[in-house]
Chains A and B, each alone.
Chain A
Amino acid sequence: MSPAAPLVEARGVTRVLAGAVPVTLVADIDLAIGRGELTAITGPSGSGKSSLLYLLGLLDLPTTGEVLIDGRETSAMAENERAEFRLATLGFVFQFHFLLPEFSACDNIMIPMRRLGRLDAAARRERAESILASLGLAEHGHKRPDQLSGGQRQRVAVARALANDPPLILADEPTGSLDSQSSEQVFDILKTLVERDGRTVVAVTHDLDLADRMHRRIHLVDGRITEDRPAGGRASPGPTISPAGRRGAGPPADAADQRLP
C-alpha cells in the first residue's frame, strides 16, 4: 500500500546518544505510516524499537533527519508546542502502565483532558467513564492503580491514551507484561481503535503472532529497518492462523494476506 497522506513520516532519522562511546539507537529510518493503519514494530531486544517509538512520538528528537506528523516538520517546534501537540494528537501507552499512583483510574484518564481544557468537568467525567466502559472497566474507575490487576492497569493506560481523542496511538509493548488472555484483550482493543474508530496505531511487540495479526510489520535489527511488509491482519476480525516458520527473518510467503476483503 502507498500512503497518499501519511500521518507519521520519518525521513532519514538517525538518533545517536552522545558520550565517550556514541551509541546509535536507530539509523537511517525512512518510514511512512498512513491513517487507519495498525502497524507492528518487532525486533530483537536492544534493536531500537522503543527508541524509534519515542522519536515518532516526539518524546525524543532525532540527531539527524526529520519526523513529520500530518505533514508538519516537528524538529523546528518549540518545546511547548511539541508538548501541546503530544497532548492533542498523540496517545502513548508504555510497557509498564505508568499511571499516576495517587490518582484513581478515572482521575488518571481525566488528567490529559484537564490539561487540554476542551471539556468541562461534567463532560470530562462522562467521557472518562464511557472510555472505561468501552474497555470493560466500568466498575473500576474509582480504584487506584495499585488496586487493579496488571491487565486492568494496562487497559486504563490505553484509556488514558485515548482521553483527548488523538488520531495516533503509540504503544510500547502494551502486552509485554500480560498473560495471554489479557494480551488478547488489549490487542483486540487496539484493533478496534483502528478498524472501528479509524485511528492509527503503532505498537511495539515481542509477540510475533500478535504482530502478524496487524496490518503491517516493521522489523528492526540494530537500529535499522530490515523488513517492512504487510502482515496478515488487515480487515479480518477472526483469528488469523499463522503458518509455521513465520519466525524466520526472511520475507513471508503469504503476501496475499493483506488483500483479503
Chain B
Amino acid sequence: MRLLLAIALTHIAGRGRQTIVSILGVALGVGFSIAMAALMVGSQRDFTETLIDAVPHVRITDETRTTPRQPASEAFAAVAYSGLRPVPDPRGILNPTRVLAGLRSWVDGSMVATLQVEAVVRFAGIDMGVALMGVEPLDELRVSTIAGDMTTGRFEDLIGAGFAVIIGERLAERLGAGINDLLTITVAGGNARQFKVTGLFRTGSVQQDERVVYTTLKRAQVLANRPEAINEIRIRLADIDSAPLVAARAEAMLGIKSVSWQESSEDLLNAFEIRNVIMFTVVGAILLVAGFGIFNIVSIITHEKARDIAILKSIGFPPADIRGIFLFEGLVMGGSGALLGCLLGFGLTEVLGSIAFEFRRNTELTHLPVVYEAAHYVMASALAMLAAGIAGYLPARSAARLNPVDIIRGAT
C-alpha cells in the first residue's frame, strides 16, 4: 500500500503545476461551499430568529376558517338565498376571562389578550387610519419585543396614565405630533376621545411604525364601547417548535382560528427551502467542476505513465494495484484540496462575518450573520473526496485494463 502511494506521489510530483491547479480547484470549491453554507445558514437562522421574535408564536383571532353557516342553511336544504338578512355576528372572543384561564392552564408560555379595532387618529387636521391595540401593558411586554423598540418613554408608562397612547415614530412624523401631544382617536361605531402620547417606538417595519397605536385594554374597550371584549390572543411559547400543536389544540378547544408562526410564515419558510436547494445545486456544481480538474490531470498522468504501468504490470503488479495508484492520486489531490478548502472556507467565513453594515443612523453596526458548523466542513470535504475518488477511479480503471504488451510494443 505504501509502495503504491509512493509511486502515486512521484506521478503527482512530476506534474506539479497542474496538480497544484487541480488542488486549488478543489480547495476553492470546498472553501466557497463552506463560506456559502455559513452565510446561507447564518442568515436563515438570523432571519428566523428575528421573525420569531417579531411575530407571536401563536395568534388566536376571532375569525373562523370558513364563513359561519347561517341559521337558514340549517333549516332549509337550499342552494342559494335571496333577500335574507344574515344574523349579525357580534364578533370578539366571548367570555375572555374563562378562555384565558383555560389556555393558561396548559400552555407553557405567556399570552396577552388584545382588543384590536380600526380607528382614525386626528391631529392638527390630519387624519390617519390606524389599528388601535388595547393590551395589558405588562402582558404585552412578556409576549412582544416592543420594550426594545421604544425610542421615547417606556411601555409601562401606559399603566395608570389615563387616556394615553404609544405610537410609532413614523406615525408621529406623518401627523407632526410629538410626545405629550393630544391626539383625537375615533372608532367607527364608538366614541371619539383625546389621548395623550406618552411614548414612541420604532420597530423598523413601516407597516407597524405607521399603523399601530397601543393603549390599555380598558381604554380601548371604553372607546369602542365594547366592555369586556377582546378579539385576539397572542401567545409566546417557551418551545417555539410546539407552536403548531398549541395552535391546533387551541383551535379545537375554542372553535376559532389559531395560527402558529410556522403557518403564518409558510411562504418564507418555503422560500428558505428553495434557497437551500439552490445552494446545494451550486455547491454540487462547483465540486463537479473541481472533480473534472482532477479527472483531467489523472487522465493525463495515466497516458503519460503508460510505460510505467506496463513496467509494473510486467513485474507482476495486479490490475487492482494499478487502479490503486491512480485512485490514490485522485484522493491525494482531493484530500489536500479539501484540507486547504476547509482553511479557506474558515477564512472566508471570518472575513464575511467581519463585514459591517450601517442600515440606520444611531443604531449599532449590523454584521453579516455567519455560522461555524463542523457539519459543513465535513460535508464539503466528503463531497470533494467523493468527486476526487470518482475522478481518479475512472482513468484508474482504464489504466488497469491496459495490456502491457501493447505499450511495450509501441515503445520499442
Residues on A lying within 8 angstroms of B by beta carbon are 50, 54, 57, 59-60, 79-80, 83-88, 90, 92, 94-96, 98-103, 111-112, 114-116, 160, 172
Contact = CB atoms under 8 A, between A and B. Distances in A.
A103 B10 contact: yes
Given A83-B319, A103-B10, 14 more contacts: A54-B408, A59-B408, A80-B318, A85-B316, A86-B314, A87-B317, A94-B314, A96-B412, A98-B411, A99-B311, A100-B10, A115-B315, A160-B315, A172-B412
B263 interface: no
B84 to A, nearest CB: 91
Given A83-B313, A87-B316, A111-B315, A96 B411 contact: yes
A111 B307 CA distance: 16
B316 A59 contact: no
A144 to B, nearest CB: 11
A101 to B, nearest CB: 8
Contact of B320 (A80, A85, A92, A98): A80
A92 B409 contact: no
B343 interface: no
Contacts of B317: 83, 87, 115
B314 to A, nearest CB: 5
B10 A83 contact: no
B316 A94 contact: no
A108 to B, nearest CB: 9
Q: How large is the interface on B (under 10, 10 to 19, 20 to 34, 35 or more residues)?
A: 20 to 34
Contacts of B351: none
A12 B411 CA distance: 29
B411 A115 contact: no
Contacts of A96: 411-412
Contact of B14 (A87, A95, A102): A102
A12 B358 CA distance: 90
Given A84-B318, A88-B316, A111-B315, A102 B409 contact: no
Chain B, interface SS category: helix
B3 A111 contact: yes
Nearest to B407: A98
Contact of A90 (B307, B310, B316, B404): B316
Interface of B: 3, 7, 10-11, 13-14, 307-308, 310-321, 403-405, 408-409, 411-412
A166 B311 CA distance: 17
Q: Of residues B312, B314, B316, which shows the largest number of chain A Cβ atoms within 10 Å of its Cβ?
A: B316
Contact of B319 (A79, A88, A102, A160): A79
A60 B314 CA distance: 10
21 contacts: A50-B409, A50-B412, A59-B313, A60-B403, A80-B318, A83-B317, A84-B316, A87-B315, A94-B314, A94-B408, A95-B412, A96-B412, A100-B10, A100-B312, A102-B10, A103-B10, A111-B312, A112-B315, A114-B3, A115-B3, A160-B315
Q: Of residues B310, B317, B411, which shows the largest number of chain A Cβ atoms within 10 Å of its Cβ?
A: B317
Nearest to A176: B412
Contacts of B404: 59
Contact of A100 (B308, B409, B412): B308
A4 B308 CA distance: 38
Contacts of A90: 316
Contact of A94 (B318, B319, B403, B412): B412
A84 B13 CA distance: 29
B3 A59 contact: no
A80 to B, nearest CB: 4
B409 A59 contact: no
Contacts of B316: 83-88, 90, 112, 115-116
Given A102-B14, A103-B10, A111-B3, A79 B318 contact: yes
A60 B407 CA distance: 12
Given A95-B412, A103-B10, A111-B3, A59 B314 contact: yes
Nearest to A112: B315
Nearest to A114: B3
B399 to A, nearest CB: 14
Contacts of B403: 60
Contacts of A85: 316
A100 B13 contact: no
B321 A115 contact: yes
Contacts of A59: 313-314, 404-405, 408
Nearest to B400: A79
Contacts of A87: 315-317
B318 A83 contact: yes
The 10 A-B pairs at the shortest CB distance, nearest first, are namely A87-B316, A86-B316, A102-B10, A83-B318, A80-B318, A114-B3, A60-B405, A83-B316, A98-B311, A112-B315
B241 to A, nearest CB: 56
A145 to B, nearest CB: 11
A92 B315 CA distance: 7
A74 B70 CA distance: 95
B178 to A, nearest CB: 83
A86 B314 CA distance: 7
Nearest to A97: B311
Contacts of B409: 50
A86 B315 contact: yes
A90 B319 CA distance: 18
